[in-house]
Structure formats: C-alpha cells, structure tokens
Amino acid sequence: MGVVNVTPDSFSDGGRWFEPDDAVTQGLRLAAQGADLVDVGGESTRPGAQRPTEEEELRRVLPVVRDLAAAGVIVSIDTMRADVAARALDHGASMVNDVSGGQADPSMLRVVADAGVPVVLMHWRGHSAHMQESAEYGDVVDDVRRELLPRLDQAIEAGVSRDRIALDPGLGFAKTGDHNWTLLARLHEIVELGYPVLVAASRKAFLGRLLADPTTGEDRPPDGRDAATAVLSSLIALAGAWCVRVHEVPGSLDAVRLAARWGDEATGRAT
C-alpha cells in the first residue's frame, strides 16, 4: 500500500502532495512502481495533529480519489469520517482505512457495510491531539488484541462481512517506541486473530530514534528511513502480515518478494 498524504502537516511529507495535481502524480508513481493499493488521506494523524474540518478534508481528497480511480488505480480512502468515506467511495475508492477502527464516527461501519467494500480497523485510543496520553499498557500485545475484538464484533454486527475486514495494530497511535517494537516482535499474535493484518511502520519516529546520528544524537529524518522501512517490511511479511503501508514502494516491494521466496523455501513450496 502506497501512501498519498494530501495534507500540509503529515510527519513524513506534509505539504509535498497537498495540491491535487501533485497528489495524483504521486499516486500514479506509486502504482507504477508496484503498489497494489494507494491510500489517500486528507487528515494528518501524527501525534499532536489537529483535525481539519470535514469540508476541508473532502476538498483535499475527492479530486485525488476520482482521478486515481479513473486511471485504474485501486484506491483506499484513509478517513475517520463516514461522510468522507461515502463520498470517496462514490468517487471510485475501493476500500476504507479507518484508523479509529470505527470509533470516531458511529456511522462509519454502516457505510462500509452498505457499500460492501473492505475495511481496515486499526487499534485506536483517541484522536491525535491527545492520544499519547493513553500510551499505557499492561502487556501491549495482549491489550491491543483484546481491544481489537470489540471493533470486530461491532463491524460484523453492522453488517460488514468477515472476509472484508483487516486489522492494524496501530503502531505509533497511543504507543511509545518500545510498544511498537514489542508489537512488531510479536506480530504473529495479531495475525493469529485470523484476519488480514496491515502494518504501517514506514518512516515512523521510532525508526528515526533507532537510527539517530551517533555524534549529534539527532533522529534520522523521515526521508532517511526508507532503507530501514524496507528491511522491516520483509520481517513484517515473514510474520504473516497481509500488507505493508509505505511511503516509497520499490524497496519494500523487493523486501516482500524476498520474504515470500524465503517463506516458500521454509515451507517446502519453492519450485
């Protein structure tokens, strides 16, 4: 899954794809490089981010979704608002990626069910402005698993087909770097819930801290984290994840192909 942030304030590339034409060009580039899905979002969810109005979110994403879908790109709409999701689906989006797991807008799951499209439900404990205040866990993996179960139940009760639900452990959302590393190391426990798992680790701050400059101590900037992201994509794939969400496609595409070949050899399926 390639990322197109139609925002002025996303942590990695805020402003680069804010104009619709630039965002469409980036989405087409990601698809041409091998992204199976292009995820279009108009709201930054970095820690501390403030929400745009619904009208502004619609203004940002609809022309991008429309033009990418018209060009044959499979588009996912990254939104927590049911009306934005519905309008994006009308403009050609094929999937909804809701980082609130259906909690931010009580109408979201009904929109998804009525449209019959796949949905990604992420582990979430509140909006970005205050989410890090909730980054307290007993065992983070057990807690994330336990808190995802009601999201699954609500989606199914709303009429969403089980085979159209994917899960996301929500790296960085109400989680510290240590929480992220623990979730990644035990990702198989999320996969064992029996649903496709999406992981969005690309360029995140915990990678920047790990790769900090040994002399100055400054975190590696976001655009210097792509090689590490690709390595992590391979490990995530080996853990059984369905999809990785990334800002740059080529390295992670190579990584998941390598992981698939490695997995085939390990299970005796290689030819």
Number of domains the chain contains:
1
Catalytic residue among 186, 204, 220, 225: 204
Q: What is the CATH number of the domain that holds 141?
A: 3.20.20.20
269 carries an active-site annotation? no
Dump the DSSP string for 243-262. Answer: EE-BS-HHHHHHHHHHHHHH
- How many CB atoms sit inside 10 A of residue 233's CB? 26
- What confidence tens digit (pLDDT) does each residue in 58-96 have? 999 999 999 999 999 999 999 999 999 999 999 999 999
DSSP single-letter state for residue 52: P
Residue 27's domain comprises 2-267
Q: Residue 199 forms beta bridges with which residues?
A: 244
DSSP single-letter state for residue 17: T
pLDDT for residue 175 is more than 70: yes
245 carries an active-site annotation? yes
Catalytic residue among 66, 164, 203, 245: 245
pLDDT for residue 52 is more than 90: yes
- What confidence tens digit (pLDDT) does each residue in 220-250 have? 999 999 999 999 999 999 999 999 999 999 9
Longest dimension (CA), the chain: 55
- How many CB atoms sit inside 10 A of residue 26's CB? 23
